[in-house]
């Protein structure tokens, strides 16, 4: 207890930067959003844009690996991401997001350089499937939680910007990967983004701070009389995360949200990998099939921005249910003999549902649990995300191989997404906090000083 008191009272805050001082200046929370958005644009596209290299990996002139062998690496990365998520969420809550992301930068550089040097299939599994999964998870779980602590209000806008930039990064990275591979070969397709991107990460992290109190600030939207407290690193953060997680795991919504993330990811990732092939199976040209896939991604980017803002105003449960319905029922458009316009309509509607799933979770977490530690909580939810993203394509590929057409894949996606809709319906209302008194189990020195109503 004495150590905890020394930590909470003995640390002095830094002087706020000029950007954050004065009532008419921009709050530093928006700098955190900008930094986090750039980090997401550097790191998140790797697991999606690299799919452009699958034809080379499969071609006998390249590595000659089978499609199944290649898909195992992508599934392995999502599976490892699921397994790593609770750990990296805990690391962010225990040691601070910035320190955890510094570890992620080193792993990102190492993983990209080693993947560019691969010569065997097991290299691909180890370097791309396992090693790169760690920084991908770090820049998905602690980073999102680290941004959330800077906001008492307008968290929907912050999450919308962050998630939209993540999707935009993938849109930009897809042609970049093609250009790098065509001009410089496989090695520099990984080495270039790994070395340049890693250097940018290290520079950007100098601007990232774990919490407002580190700069002598209150979160954006906090009451003027709210104490400036450092609650998100060191012994204080450790005991807060431990006590909160113990209480959160006793309520059904904690486990249901993990399941919802799982069903949603099985539903959309079983379609995303195969959508161009499904379109060509129904007579669309490769160019039109690529246009359908691009349309879906653009729709997803726009939704990533809008959905958290709407959820912040009308409630996360309603918006989450709407997004899952948009991911479920448009699949019916592809049954029978769909035409080109049907695929484009599907891409727009389905893209809305896909884009709205991931960014809704930080908002609904805030509505359910207030300003409790979010790193470990979001990490557990990301277990559902990783397992679903890994299992969806594997099940879809097995069903297609077994049945000989895409109807079974569409049925899998519809059924999984519908299960997510039903699970959302039994969630409690987001109009009240589920654990309003969780801090009563903390020692007084670890409790926040925010005013409660």
Cβ contact 192:110 at 8 Å? no
Of 166, 425, 377, 161, nearest to 258 by C-alpha is: 377
Output the 3-class SS for 159-193.
HHHHHHHHHHHHHHHHHHHHHHHHHHCHHHHHHHH
Give pTM, 2 decimals. 0.81
Name, in order, each residue with C-beta under 8 angstroms of 233's C-beta and a sequence gap of 6 or more: 95, 96, 210, 211
pLDDT score, position 17: 56
Q: pLDDT at residue 410 above 90?
A: yes
HSE of 313, CA atoms in CB hemisphere, 13 A: 6
Show the tokens assigned to 203. 């520079």
Show the tokens assigned to 65. 């690996």
pLDDT score, position 209: 93
What is the average per-residue pLDDT within 14-19? 54
Residues 232-272 pLDDT 10s = 777 887 888 889 999 999 999 999 999 999 999 999 988 88
- d(Cα 358, Cα 211) in Å, to the nearest integer? 23
pLDDT score, position 187: 93
Name, in order, each residue with C-beta under 8 angstroms of 60's C-beta and a sequence gap of 6 or more: none
Return the higher-pLDDT residue of 115 and 271.
115
What is the average per-residue pLDDT within 265-287? 86
Residues in the chain: 453
pLDDT score, position 289: 84
Of 46, 14, 433, nearest to 251 by C-alpha is: 433
Show the tokens assigned to 186. 């496989």
Residues 138-159 pLDDT 10s = 998 889 889 988 998 888 899 9
pLDDT score, position 15: 54
- d(Cα 120, Cα 351) in Å, to the nearest integer? 36
Residues 304-324 pLDDT 10s = 899 999 998 899 999 999 999
pLDDT score, position 449: 65
pLDDT score, position 38: 96
Of 333, 292, 325, 343, nearest to 419 by C-alpha is: 325
Q: What percent of the chain has pLDDT over 70?
A: 93
Helix (H, G, I), strand (E, B) or coil at 196: helix
Cβ contact 292:342 at 8 Å? no
Of 438, 422, 427, 423, nearest to 364 by C-alpha is: 427
């Amino acid at each position: 207890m004495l150590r905890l008191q020394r930590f909470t009272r003995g640390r002095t805050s830094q002087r706020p930067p000029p950007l954050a001082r004065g009532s008419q200046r921009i709050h530093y929370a928006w700098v955190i959003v900008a930094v986090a958005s750039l980090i997401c644009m550097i790191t998140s596209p790797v697991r999606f844009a690299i799919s452009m290299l699958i034809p080379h990996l499969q071609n006998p002139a390249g590595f000659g690996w089978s499609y199944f062998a290649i898909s195992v690496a992508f599934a392995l990365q999502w599976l490892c991401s699921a397994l790593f998520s609770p750990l990296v969420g805990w690391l962010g809550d225990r040691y601070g997001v910035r320190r955890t992301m510094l570890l992620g930068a080193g792993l990102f550089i190492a993983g990209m350089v080693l993947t560019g040097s691969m010569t065997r299939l097991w290299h691909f599994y180890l370097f791309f499937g396992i090693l790169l999964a760690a920084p991908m998870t770090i820049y998905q779980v602690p980073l999102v939680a680290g941004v959330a602590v800077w906001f008492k209000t307008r968290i929907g806008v912050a999450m919308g910007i962050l998630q939209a930039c993540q999707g935009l990064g993938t849109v930009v990275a897809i042609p970049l990967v093609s250009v790098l591979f065509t001009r410089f070969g496989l090695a520099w397709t990984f080495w270039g983004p790994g070395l340049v991107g890693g250097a940018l990460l290290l520079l950007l992290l100098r601007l990232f701070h774990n919490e407002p109190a580190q700069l002598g600030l209150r979160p954006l939207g906090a009451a003027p009389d709210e104490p400036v407290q450092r609650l998100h690193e060191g012994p204080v953060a450790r005991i807060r995360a431990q006590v909160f997680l113990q209480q959160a795991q006793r309520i059904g919504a904690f486990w249901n949200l993990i399941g919802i993330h799982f069903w949603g990811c099985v539903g959309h990732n079983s379609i995303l990998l195969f959508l161009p092939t499904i379109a060509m199976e129904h007579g669309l040209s490769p160019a039109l099939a690529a246009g359908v896939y691009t349309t879906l991604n653009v729709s997803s980017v726009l939704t990533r921005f809008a959905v958290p803002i709407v959820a912040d105003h009308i409630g996360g449960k309603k918006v989450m249910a709407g997004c899952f319905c948009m991911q479920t029922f448009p699949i019916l458009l592809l049954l029978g003999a769909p035409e080109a316009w049907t695929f484009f309509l599907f891409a727009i509607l389905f893209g809305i549902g896909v884009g709205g799933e991931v960014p809704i979770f930080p908002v609904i977490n805030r509505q359910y649990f207030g300003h409790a530690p979010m790193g470990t909580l979001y990490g557990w939810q990301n277990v559902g995300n990783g397992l679903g993203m890994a299992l969806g394509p594997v099940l879809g590929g097995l069903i297609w191989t077994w049945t000989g057409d895409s109807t079974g894949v569409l049925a899998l996606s519809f059924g999984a997404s519908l299960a997510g809709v039903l699970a959302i319906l039994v969630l409690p209302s987001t109009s009240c906090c589920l654990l309003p008194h969780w801090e009563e189990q903390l020692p007084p020195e670890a409790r926040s000083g925010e005013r409660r109503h």
